[in-house]
Structures are given as C-alpha cells and as structure tokens.
Amino acid sequence: MADFETPELTDEIVVPHIQEGAMEGSGPFIAKPEHQEPLGFPGELVENWQEKAIDKMGELLGKYRSFQVFLDICVKCGACTDKCHYFLSTSDPKNMPVGRQDTLRSVYRRYFTVAGKLFPKLVGARDLTKEVLDEWYNYFHQCSQCRRCSVFCPYGIDTAEISMAAREILDSVGVGQKYCNEIIAKVFKIGNNLGLPEPALRDTLEDLEEEIYEDTGVKVRLPLDEKGADILLITPSADFFAEPHIDGLMGYAKVFHEAGVSWTISSYASEAANFGMFIGSYENMQKVAMRIREAALDLGVKRIVHGECGHAWRVAYSFWNTLAGPWDFLDPNYPVPQHICEFTWDLIQQGKLKFDKSENDHRVVTFHDSCNVARATRMGDKPGGQFEIPRNVIKAVCNNYVDMEEETIRDATYCCGGGGGLLTDDLIELRVKGAMPRMHALNKVMEEDGVTNMAAICAICKSQFTKVLPYYKMPMDMIVSVHQLVSDAIILTGQNEEGGEEAEEEA
Amino acid sequence: MSFLSTAYALLFYVATLILFAGLTMRIIKYARTPAPLKIPTMPAPLTKAGVALRIGREVVFFQSLFRSQKWTWLFGWMFHLALLLAFFRHLRYSMSPDNILWPLVSLEVVQTFGKYAGFAMVAGLLGLLARRIFVDRVRYVSAPSDYLMLLLLLGIAFSGLSMSFVAHTDIVQLKAFVMGLIYFDWQELPASAPLIIHLTLVALLMIIFPISKLLHAPGIFFSPTRNQVDDARERRHLAPWAAALDSTRGNR
Ligand code: SF4
Ligand code: SF4
C-alpha cells in the first residue's frame, strides 16, 4: 500500500528505544503563495527570515503566557517522553513531547536567555539556521496538538501551545503548510473547508431529507438559511458529504425533529472547523469564528448547537466567547454553544426521545474520546461531562457497549493520529503510524469483547480512522458517528415500520 | 576579618540579591504576560478554590507526575521533600532564640528529620541522575546543564552530610557569621573545607536559580493549563491585546 510499514499490534504497547532521525524530512507540502496570502502571510520564505522569526518569537513570548512559561520551566524530567502516540509509533526522539519542544526551546535559549547567550553549549542552546527552521517545519507538523503530554507533565506543559507558536512563526516568515492554509482560505472565500457552495449544500440537504423520508416515512427537514429559526447548527462541513459523518448529521436532524424545535444551517457559516487554531493564528481563528457570530445575527437565532467535531468544539467551547463574544443576543437559558450530545442527552433525560435499541443489536460499540473534546472542553455542568455524556447517549441507544483500556480513554485518550491539521495524504505515513496506540486498544476490545464498531464525535477522527483502519486490517466502516447510532435507533413520531415508499403508496 | 570571611559575606549578599531580584523580575514577567485564551487541561475545576486545590495537589504531591511515571515521581518527590526538611533544619542558623518561629525550628523532630533528610536527598538525586544516564529518552533530552544541576545538588547534600556525620564544623561560629550577615555586623566564618564547599555550591545555586530551569518553582503557579478555571462559556475571558482586536474584528 505504501513505502512504509504499518506498525504491528502487539500484546502491550512497548516504549521503543529512540532512533534519531527516523522521521526526518517527512514534513507535509509547503503552502504556495496563493495559499499564504489570503491569510496575511508572506508567500514564500522572506529574505531576512532569521531576524523575522526571532522577532516573531519575541512577540509571541510577550503575548502568550503559556509560551513564555513553558519554554522556561521544563526540567527535562522525561515524564512526557513516552506519552506521545507519534513517538511510540516512530521512535524518533524529536517526536517525544519534550524533544519536540526542545527543537524550539534551544533557539529560545540562545536568543532570549542569559544562560543561552553566555553558555550555549552548556544549556543546549543553538543558533537559528535554515536546518533548524526546516526541522521546526518537519516536527511541528508531526504534532497533532492533542495535549496528551500536558496531562502527564508535572507543570502541565502543553506541547500543542509550542506547536501552535512554532507554526505561527513559520507562517510569518513565509513557510506555511499547504493543507491548513489552503483550507482556511476556502473558508474565507466560500464559507467552509470543502469549498462547498450554497447551491451544492442545498442539494445535499434535500437529498438527505429524501433519504430519511424513504427510510422512515417521516418528513424530517434539514433547513438552510432559514431566518427566525430558534437554533443555528454549526457543524463540520464533512458532515455534509463524508461517511460516516453524514449519518451523524441525519441523526441530529431527527433529534431536532423529535424535539420539535426550529433550526437551521447557515451557508455563510457552514463550517464548525477552525483551522486557525492549528496554525496558532489568533487573527485567522477570530476571522473564522466571527462568521458564526455574523450568521447568528443575520438569521436571528436564539441558540447555537454544535455538531460532532473535536477541535471545533474546543474553539467553540473554550474560545468563541473570547473571539466572537459576547453572545448576549442569544437566549441566556442555554449554554453558548451547546454540544449536540448535550442537547440530545437533555432530551433523553426528559424522556422526549423514543428508541428501539435493538436496531443497534448487531453492534458492540466502544467510544473513542477525541483529544480536543476530552482534554480541552467540557459538556454538561460537571467536570468530566465530556466523557460521560457521549457515553450516556450511546448507552441510551445501544445495548452493547464496552470501554477500551482505561489508560487509553478519557483524558488519557490517544489521538486518532490525524488531528492538528495533519489530516492530509502527504502525511499518510505519520497518520498510519500515529494511530497505532488507538488501534492497539481497539484491537484488544475487538478480540476480547467482540467490539464491532468504534463511535466518535469528531470529523477528523472519523475521516482519519476511515483511512487508516484498513492499514491495520480492520474494516473501514467500523468507525461510526455517535448520532449515527442515535439515528439508527430513534423512533420518529408517526414513523412507518416499513419505510416511506409504502407510506407514499397509501397516501 | 579574614579575607575569606569578607569574600563569603560579599558572595552571599550578591547571591541573595541575584536570587530575589532575578526571581522577582521573572515572576513579574510571568504575571504581566497575558494568557489570551482559555486553555486549562480538562477536566479542570469550575471554581477558583478548585484551581487552588489542583495546584496544591501538584505542588505538594506532584499529582501529574505520579500518574505519569512512578519512579521519577518517587525520586523527585523524595528529593524535594528532603530539601524542604533540610531547609527547616537550617533555619536555626539564621534565627535568634527570641524569634517566634524558634520553638518550632528547634524542635527535636525538625532537627532530626532535617539531619537524616540529607540521605533521602542523596538517594532521590542519585535516582534522578541514574534515570538521566540510563534511560535513553531522558539522556537524549539532557543538556550538560541538566547533569551539572544534579551534581551541584549532590555536592550540596554530600558536603552538608559530611558536616553532620563526619567532620563537625564550628556551628556556633557559623551561626555568628550568618547572623552577622543579617544584621550587617560581620563575623568570622569558620574555615572548614566542607563548609566552604557547601556554602560555595549553595551560593552558586542561588545565582543560577532565576536563569535556569529551577524557574519551575515559581513557574508552576503560572502554568495556564493548570491555573485556569473552566468557565469559558460562562465568562468572557479577554486579554488586553485581544480586547483591542474587538474593535477591528468586523462591524458587529
Ligand atoms: S514532562 Fe514536562 S517538565 Fe518533564 S520533560 Fe516533559 S515537558 Fe519537560
Ligand atoms: S500534543 Fe500530542 S502530538 Fe503533540 S507532542 Fe503532545 S502528545 Fe505528541
């Protein structure tokens, strides 16, 4: 399938011995000027890049406490060294969280600390050369910004923060990543990551309405740009076309239908994803987020509900209020934003949804905690709700549920391997390898508990697993959306057992 | 006053100045640098009190490290605890018996624990050093300064222990020297080799503290992933530079 080996799944995940340079030069495609410029970055490597990069680093040190403090306080204890899925699967020491940080910390020390200015060799400080810049590009695009390292670091040092800053520095000197920057430019131009224009979106939604009608005989609507709707649904654009995402979208539609609320999608803000976060650009992240505020105001909605997406839920939950708030024009009785799982779980608790759980009896389901949901957000009103609520929803619609090994779920969850702006084919080796710890845990429950499906609430996780599962000889369609399970089990009011065709005939 | 005593008196003034001025500047820097976004590592506490507890658990028990690597935790925690005990024991050299803390500091337990803590300190440090040398991952991320830091601390511990258990120093005169420093009434420093080594290394530690990774001590309190409250949906969090963007972010 490719010119690398898929890691073998052994009994236990073995912490490998380091292999220096194992993933050297495996960076993703570099952005062309046309991908860079719409984001306000120089088109190609600027002439005085060294000076520019150091200046930018200085600027970020003054703007982000995380960056400043994290660069100073690492004691090189090594506690994080075996916590990154990319290190476990590639053995490259620069994929150990602290190893990754050090590629940048060494330069920080050289230019910004007394010790590094006076005794560079002693404290591992080095000049910023072109080789170092290339190394940054390579290894900061081998970090999915999953924050697993930050859980286990005694000081909470979050390599994701360093990665974001590094990417921002790289962008500022003209060395951006094609995948992320091209996508952000598409959002600015068309409204979503896919570049899906309004007419195409409308067609898709109509097709889905038809599909649900054929299945159930119930006219469930998927409205677009409907002014005056109560709820604006912001969901990743993958939900409009990719499998299994789209089955999740049908699930949300059915839940809204049964809840009897009016809702709409916006063609202007038809994207929950916000890749501005991946590249560490506050300005770009804000620009993307502002589209949602504008859409909410234009449509005159009262609430915002957020679909299944990991990093997007992080931006929404943790950053929207800062970037695009205050949301005082929305109904204060509901959280802004509200996750679709919170929404569905509320209705389930109120007894407003009816399910035929046996519809999912052919499945034994496990749940993959997406890193951004798990380690950067919350659901509900208690810490850890982000773990319980999706599981509660699944258990409400499925009879067979098992968890994977404890050290691989909840806040210790392993990344799917494709987060953080790495979901691109030019990084396929990294993606396949990086999925190893998750595949390992999944394989175990498949063998021991007969698990047939893994549910997720993240568009990136779903796409990534669809792609990498076959490398591990697992069926690609075993990854499902949580609301796909909801969709399969929900009984719509007036639903026809045999489906819509019959209903039509009767009519 | 001998040359030696004068030199060490000056050394300690300089070291103290560097330590406190350096740390203060660093702390001010951390405090002044904004954290524009909410980035607590979740699940995070929903209240400030909860955050205080979270940080407390990290500082007192090294909670995350415990979860992470038991050996590193054991050696690290042992060393830090021992350091604390030794520190308490040393307070009696800088306190006159009429100090309100004197009854506490002079307690038999404080003194005994402090005395034997030196061994725990050495054990912890040796464990950490062994990890640094023998675990390839840790060796890879270690700079010369990381080894030297451990050697420096080991040097302090060994020279200290040797005064307690091998060759006693003139404690009374040492105390006179320290009190002299505090009250600007300089006294002679007992000329004993272990003491001179001990004091030199301690002064060195004080000097490098604010320019080294020892900044983890104040830094942990400023780590946004640990010190932020999980309330992003309820409260709008705005750093000054981010607030300034509010006016340019679009017309609504
Ligand atoms: S766990 Fe934290 S302090 Fe220890 S090496 Fe990793 S980043 Fe540094
Ligand atoms: S954030 Fe995730 S991918 Fe990046 S270094 Fe940490 S564990 Fe690895």
Instruction: Beginning with the edge strand found earlier in the chain, give each strand of the sheet holding A365-367 in spatial order.
Output: A365-367, A453-456, A479-481
Put simply, the chain B residues between 83 and 122 with a CB less than 8 A from any chain A CB are none
- CB-based contact A77 B76, cutoff 8 Å: yes
A454's enclosing H/E stretch is strand A453-456
Answer yes or no: are the C-beta atoms of B38 and B243 closer than 8 Å: no
Distance A430 CA to ligand 2 centre (A): 13
Q: How far apart are CA B101 and CA B104, in angstroms?
A: 5
The larger pLDDT score, comparing residue A26 to residue B50, is at B50
According to DSSP, residue A419 is labeled T
Chain A's closest residue to B140, CA to CA, is A93
Using a CB-CB cut-off of 8 Å, the residues of chain A touching B221 are: none
Place of tokens 């990381």: B146
User: Which whole number is the average pLDDT over B68-86?
Assistant: 97
* Cross-chain CB nearest to A282 (options B64, B72, B242): B242
- CB-based contact A115 B212, cutoff 8 Å: yes
Please tell me the residue having the least CA distance from ligand 1 atom 1.
A153
User: Which whole number is the average pLDDT over A347-366?
Assistant: 97
* Cross-chain CB nearest to A322 (options B30, B215, B242): B242
For the cut 70, the answer to whether the pLDDT of residue A506 exceeds it is no
In which band, very low, low, confident or very high, does the pLDDT at A2 lie, cut at 50, 70 and 90?
A: low
Helix (H, G, I), strand (E, B) or coil at A321: helix
Give the rounded distance of the alpha carbon of A31 from its chain centre. Answer: 21
| Ligand 2 mutation pick, A13, A104, A163, max ligand atoms within 8 A of CB | A163
Angle, helices A245-259 vs A198-216, to 10°: value is 70
Question: Residues enclosing ligand 1, CB less than 6 A?
Answer: A 74-80, 97-98, 153-155, 157
Stretch(es) of chain A classified as CATH 1.10.1060? 33-176
pLDDT, tens digit (0-9, with 9 covering 90-100), for A258-274: 999 999 999 999 999 99
Answer yes or no: are the C-beta atoms of B226 and B39 closer than 8 Å: no
Shortest CA gap A99–chain B (Å): 6
pLDDT of residue A18: 98
User: Which whole number is the average pLDDT over A367-391?
Assistant: 98
Please tell me the residue having the least CA distance from ligand 1 atom 8.
A74
Helix (H, G, I), strand (E, B) or coil at A477: helix
* Cross-chain CB nearest to B37 (options A114, A318, A324): A318
Please tell me the residue having the least CA distance from ligand 1 atom 2.
A153
Torsion over CA: A380, A381, A386, A389 (sign): negative
Using a CB-CB cut-off of 8 Å, the residues of chain A touching B235 are: 321
Tell me whether B147 touches chain A (CB under 8 Å): no
Q: How far apart are CA A146 and CA A125, in angstroms?
A: 27
ipTM for the whole complex: 0.96
**CA-wise closest residue to A226 among A187, A197, A268:** A268
Q: How far apart are CA A278 and CA A284, in angstroms?
A: 10
Environment class of A111 (CB within 10 Å of its CB; exposed 0-12, middle 13-18, buried 19+): middle
Q: How far apart are CA B16 and CA B11, in angstroms?
A: 8
Strands A263-265 and A231-234: parallel
| Ligand 1 mutation pick, A72, A95, A98, max ligand atoms within 8 A of CB | A98
A351 dihedral zone (left: phi>0; alpha: psi -120 to 50; beta): left
Answer yes or no: are the C-beta atoms of A339 and A381 closer than 8 Å: no
Tokens of A82: 């075996």
pLDDT of residue A505: 44
Put simply, the chain A residues between 76 and 95 with a CB less than 8 A from any chain B CB are 76-83, 93
Per cent of chain A over pLDDT 90 is 94
Put simply, the chain A residues between 152 and 211 with a CB less than 8 A from any chain B CB are 152-158, 161
Chain A's closest residue to B250, CA to CA, is A290
| Ligand 2 mutation pick, A82, A147, A149, A414, max ligand atoms within 8 A of CB | A149
Residue A148 in contact with ligand 2 by CB distance below 6 A: yes
What are the residue ranges of helices labelled H in A316-384?
A: 320-324, 340-349, 371-376
Q: Which numbered atom of ligand 2 lies nearest the CA of A147?
A: 1
Using a CB-CB cut-off of 8 Å, the residues of chain A touching B132 are: 76, 78
Q: Which ligand is nearest to the CA of A98?
A: 1
Kindly report the CATH class assigned to A33-176. mainly alpha
Q: Which numbered atom of ligand 2 lies nearest the CA of A434?
A: 3
pLDDT of residue A499: 47
pLDDT, tens digit (0-9, with 9 covering 90-100), for B198-229: 999 999 999 999 999 999 999 999 999 999 99
Which amino acid type is present at position A70? F
- CB-based contact B34 A80, cutoff 8 Å: no
User: Which whole number is the average pLDDT over A89-118?
Assistant: 98
For the cut 80, the answer to whether the pLDDT of residue A26 exceeds it is no
Shortest CA gap A359–chain B (Å): 33
pLDDT of residue A1: 45
Shortest CA gap B90–chain A (Å): 26
pLDDT of residue B121: 97
Weakest mean pLDDT among A74-78, A323-327, B167-171: B167-171
- CB-based contact A122 B148, cutoff 8 Å: yes
Distance B78 CA to ligand 1 centre (A): 18
Q: Tell me which range, A54-58, A497-501, B98-102, is most confidently predicted by mean pLDDT.
A: A54-58
Answer yes or no: are the C-beta atoms of B223 and B52 closer than 8 Å: no
| Ligand 1 mutation pick, A67, A70, A73, A75, max ligand atoms within 8 A of CB | A75
pLDDT of residue A130: 96
According to DSSP, residue A240 is labeled G
For the cut 80, the answer to whether the pLDDT of residue A497 exceeds it is no
- CB-based contact A62 B33, cutoff 8 Å: yes
Tell me whether B238 touches chain A (CB under 8 Å): yes
In which band, very low, low, confident or very high, does the pLDDT at A504 lie, cut at 50, 70 and 90?
A: very low
Distance from first CA to last CA of chain A, Å, rounded?
52
In which band, very low, low, confident or very high, does the pLDDT at B249 lie, cut at 50, 70 and 90?
A: confident
Q: How far apart are CA B220 and CA A409, in angstroms?
A: 26
- CB-based contact B137 A18, cutoff 8 Å: yes
Q: Which ligand is nearest to the CA of B72?
A: 1
- CB-based contact A411 B222, cutoff 8 Å: no
